[in-house]
Structure 1
Amino acid sequence: MKNSKSVVFKRQQALLKELREEKTIDVETVAQKLNVSPTTIRRDLVMFEKQNLIERFHGGATLLEESLREEDNPTDNREAEDREQKHIIARYAAELVEDGDTIFINSSSTALLMLDYLKGKNVIVVTNNGFAVGHPHDPQVEIIMTGGEIYQRRKSLVGEFALHTLTKIIADKAFIGVGGISAEGGITTSVLPETAVNETMLRRCQGKRYVLAANSKIGREHNFHSADVNQVNCLITCKGAPSNELDAIRHSGVDVVELNL
């Protein structure tokens, strides 16, 4: 379809790129540059404003600098703990993979670490994580890259080509890292074009769908929505997350695994 999700995401990605480069944009000018109507640009800007990405003014908008921070860029005092959590979660997740499985792994750094712990199993890993190229892994593990456009900040593969590849595959399990997860906000990320990839991975998985998230991401909401929380089967995190947030996620029908640090 002309107005498919991937077309909308690609346009909005291009609009965000203009905002990052120019800081302030004019609706009429950017509409001509992106070859869409000013009404379409205004509609996108209304959505960005609701997500606290921009401040609108008559005829244009200004980027709010703090709004596009990366979820995988922890502050110094949390860096060591977050790194430890990622390995603990990845090790546990790898144990859930069975010989002969085909699995989805998204652009998450936590999910990628599963390759360190997948040993002695014949597994096909399908991923849009550009860092998977050259990442050491067991020779019995076959890695298939989705292909697609490279999102430079995170080296993730996104866009129509990546989505088309995923529609040709049915996975046994999906392991999705997130920027945030909550019962109300669902699964969210700071990178707009990755939402379509995450959604497609979840939809094309015939088995269990796992979210991998450090405890600091529980109850957190980023700007872009990938899926409702009830679209996953299990959340794997480490102890220390807010108990009320975990309870709300459980009440949504999601199993929660809390690992010891």
Structure 2
Amino acid sequence: MKNSKGVVCKRQQLILQYLNEHKTAKVETLSELLNVSPITIRRDLQIFEEKGIVERFYGGATLIEGALGDDPSLSASSRNYIFQKLAIAKKAASIIEDGDTIFMNSSSTALLVLKYLQNKHVIVITNNGKALQVQRDPKVELVLTGGEVYERKQSMVGEFATHILSKVVANKCIMGVSGISTKTGITTSVLQETAVNQMMLKRCSGPVIVVADSSKIGVEHNFISGDLNKISYLITDSGADDKQVEILTEKGIEVITVDPLDAAEINISNNI
């Protein structure tokens, strides 16, 4: 039986995680760990070689230095899922048009969209303090909300941030989430950011684009940012559960899935 895209994506991500930790991997070792045939592992390694991620040798492969990114500000989880995030961000940027005014919340995936906004005059209003560190096109005007700094994420929260947002109308919103499900809608694990997310949704007059890797689909967290009827697009990776995607589509959300390996050849710099 042919493997589903989700199974293939998950296996390849596990191989990348192994390479990220061990730098070198043997086909026999990976075959035993993942319980698949050596032929399957060789096929995956060939794909990685074509994408410039590994150098193959007889019986295995070695990770090319810097291929998975080495920015110390990225968590281990972010490094493991960097290809999903990059592919999702690139797709989200393609929906943005010249002249747009965009809300962007504190999500790491949403932040990556800034890298792909090229040759478009847009205004990006965000509560993400890390946006100052991202290299961006000179045509992109960046506006920070200000507010109390939530240190763990360097996001700006509180009454000052929500007050500024209440004075603006954006025609698009790019929002990352901790979880999205048919039961609770958009949720976050950070209470302090809930009010900011809610205000962005309220003050957006056009499409809301949720960017979320497949690990967040069907997941629920404690704090609700918004209902599903607020969402126009959900951009996720090809590892997303097919049933969850079907249900979300039935709710009127246009679900766009991307292949994380499409982003593998992108040079990940310290400016992410």
Question: TM-score under structure 2 normalisation?
Answer: 0.66
* Match of residue 260 from structure 1: 259
Q: How does 1:160-239 map to 2 (within 5 A)?
A: 160-239=159-238
Asked if 1:133 corresponds to 2:127, the answer is: no
Q: What is the CA distance between 1:202 and its match in structure 2? A: 0.9
Q: What CA deviation, in whole Å up to 9, does each residue of 1:25-83 have, x standing for no partner?
A: xxxxxxxxxxxxxxxxxxxxxxxxxxxxxxxxxxxxxxxxxxxxxxxx97x5x654411
Q: What is the CA distance between 1:228 and its match in structure 2? A: 1.2
Aligned residues: CA RMSD: 1.4
Q: Amino acid of the residue matched to residue 114 of structure 1? A: V
Q: Amino acid of the residue matched to residue 121 of structure 1? A: K
Please list every run of 5 or more consecutive structure 1 residues that lacks an aligned counterpart in the other structure. 1-72
**Take 2:133 and 2:78, find their aligned partners in 1: how far apart are those partners?**
24
**Take 1:110 and 1:241, find their aligned partners in 2: how far apart are those partners?**
16
**Take 1:233 and 1:184, find their aligned partners in 2: how far apart are those partners?**
17
Structure 2 residue matching 1:138: 3-state secondary structure = coil
Q: Amino acid of the residue matched to residue 132 of structure 1? A: A
**Take 1:147 and 1:90, find their aligned partners in 2: how far apart are those partners?**
24
Q: Amino acid of the residue matched to residue 182 of structure 1? A: S
Q: What is the CA distance between 1:229 and its match in structure 2? A: 1.3
* Match of residue 113 from structure 2: 114
**Take 1:79 and 1:223, find their aligned partners in 2: how far apart are those partners?**
22
Q: Is the 8 A contact 2:120 2:139 kept in 1?
A: yes
Structure 1 residues 117, 230: CA separation in 2 closer, same or farther (over 3 Å shift)? same
Q: What is the CA distance between 1:244 and its match in structure 2? A: 1.5
Question: TM-score under structure 1 normalisation?
Answer: 0.69
Asked if 1:144 corresponds to 2:143, the answer is: yes
Q: Amino acid of the residue matched to residue 245 of structure 1? A: Q
Please list every run of 5 or more consecutive structure 2 residues that lacks an aligned counterpart in the other structure. 1-73, 261-272
* Match of residue 102 from structure 1: 101
Structure 1 residues 120, 191: CA separation in 2 closer, same or farther (over 3 Å shift)? same
Q: How does 1:9-88 map to 2 (within 5 A)?
A: 76=76, 79-88=78-87
Q: What CA deviation, in whole Å up to 9, does each residue of 1:110-132 have, x standing for no partner?
A: 00111111111111000000101
* Match of residue 153 from structure 2: 154
Structure 1 residues 132, 79: CA separation in 2 closer, same or farther (over 3 Å shift)? closer
Identity rate, percent? 51
Structure 2 residue matching 1:154: 3-state secondary structure = coil
Q: What is the CA distance between 1:134 and its match in structure 2? A: 2.9
Q: Amino acid of the residue matched to residue 106 of structure 1? A: N
* Match of residue 92 from structure 1: 91
Q: Is the 8 A contact 2:84 2:259 kept in 1?
A: no
Structure 1 runs (4+) deviating above 2 angstroms are 78-81
Q: What CA deviation, in whole Å up to 9, does each residue of 1:85-105 have, x standing for no partner?
A: 111011111111111110011
Q: Amino acid of the residue matched to residue 128 of structure 2? A: N
Q: Amino acid of the residue matched to residue 97 of structure 1? A: I
Tell me the number of residue pairs that the alignment of Structure 1 and Structure 2 aligns.
187
Q: Is the 8 A contact 2:180 2:187 kept in 1?
A: yes
Structure 1 residues 79, 169: CA separation in 2 closer, same or farther (over 3 Å shift)? closer
Structure 1 residue matching 2:197: 3-state secondary structure = helix
